[in-house]
Amino acid sequence: MQQLEVINILKNSLNFSDHAIEKLKKFANLVLMENKNYNLISKSTENQIWFRHILDSAQLVKFIDFNLKSLADLGSGAGFPGLVVAIFNKNKAFHVKLYEKSPVKRRFLKEVIKELSINAETLGDVRNEAIDSDIIICRAFKKLDNVIQVSREIAKKPHKLVILKGQNAQKEIKNSSKTKKYPYKLEKSMTNKDSRIILMEINK
C-alpha cells in the first residue's frame, strides 16, 4: 500500500485533517533523510513508511480520548507512534510526551517537534522519569509484562495502556496475568491481519 492509498485511509477512516497530512508528509521525509545517517527505521521498510510506520501508528487515534490531559509514548524511537498521534491531535490542552533513551533519536525527535510545531516534548529513559499521563502507548517497546511493570512502577495514577502487538498478543496477556489481572480488550490491526492492539486499564 503506497502513500496515496494510506492518505485516503487517514482522511476518510481516521479523520486526519489536511493540515495533519501535510505535517505527516514532512515528517516522513525527515525520517527518510535522517535514516541515511542513523538507523531510525529498518532500511527494508523505507519504501513502505506510510503503511508500515505511519498508518500502523495512526490507527491508535481510534482508541485515544483527546479530551484528557496527556499521553506518554514509551520508547518512541523515530516518533512512531507518538509523533503521529501528536500530529493528529487538535486539542491544545492535550500534551504528548515522548520517552526515548537514545540521545541520537531524542535529538531527532526534538528537531522534528520544533520544525513542524508539534505539541509534544521529548524526555529521556522512562525508568529515569516520572509518568503522570492518562494514557500510555507503545510500539515495539518491550513484552507486555515488562510494559505493565514499568507503567505500574513509574506512572503516578491509574491509566490506560494502548499497545501495538504482533500475533503473540494473547500469549503475552496470558503470561502477564499470572501475577495480577487487568481488564483488557483486543482490537484488530489495520495493517496486519495477525497483529493486535491491546487496550488495558491499569488501576494502581
Is 196 inside a domain boundary?
Answer: yes
- Does an H or E element contain 135, and which? strand 135-139
> How many domains does one find in the chain?
1
Strand order in the sheet with 120-123: 120-123, 95-99, 70-74, 135-139, 159-165, 196-202, 184-188
Is 56 inside a domain boundary?
Answer: no
Residue 139: give its domain's CATH number.
Answer: 3.40.50.150
Confidence of residue 154 (pLDDT cuts 50, 70, 90): confident
pLDDT tens string 183-204: 899 999 999 999 999 999 988 6
**Per-residue pLDDT at 177 exceeds 90:** no
Is 138 inside a domain boundary?
Answer: yes
Please name the residues in contact with 62: beta carbons below 8 A apart, sequence gap of 6 or more.
Answer: 14
**Per-residue pLDDT at 148 exceeds 80:** yes
Q: What is the pLDDT of residue 22?
A: 98
Domain that holds residue 69: 61-202
pLDDT tens string 95-145: 999 999 999 999 999 999 999 999 999 999 888 888 899 999 999 777 888
Q: Where do runs of H (alpha helix) occur along 35-100? A: 56-58, 82-88
Spatial contact of 119 and 131, defined as CB atoms under 8 Å apart: no
Is 111 inside a domain boundary?
Answer: yes
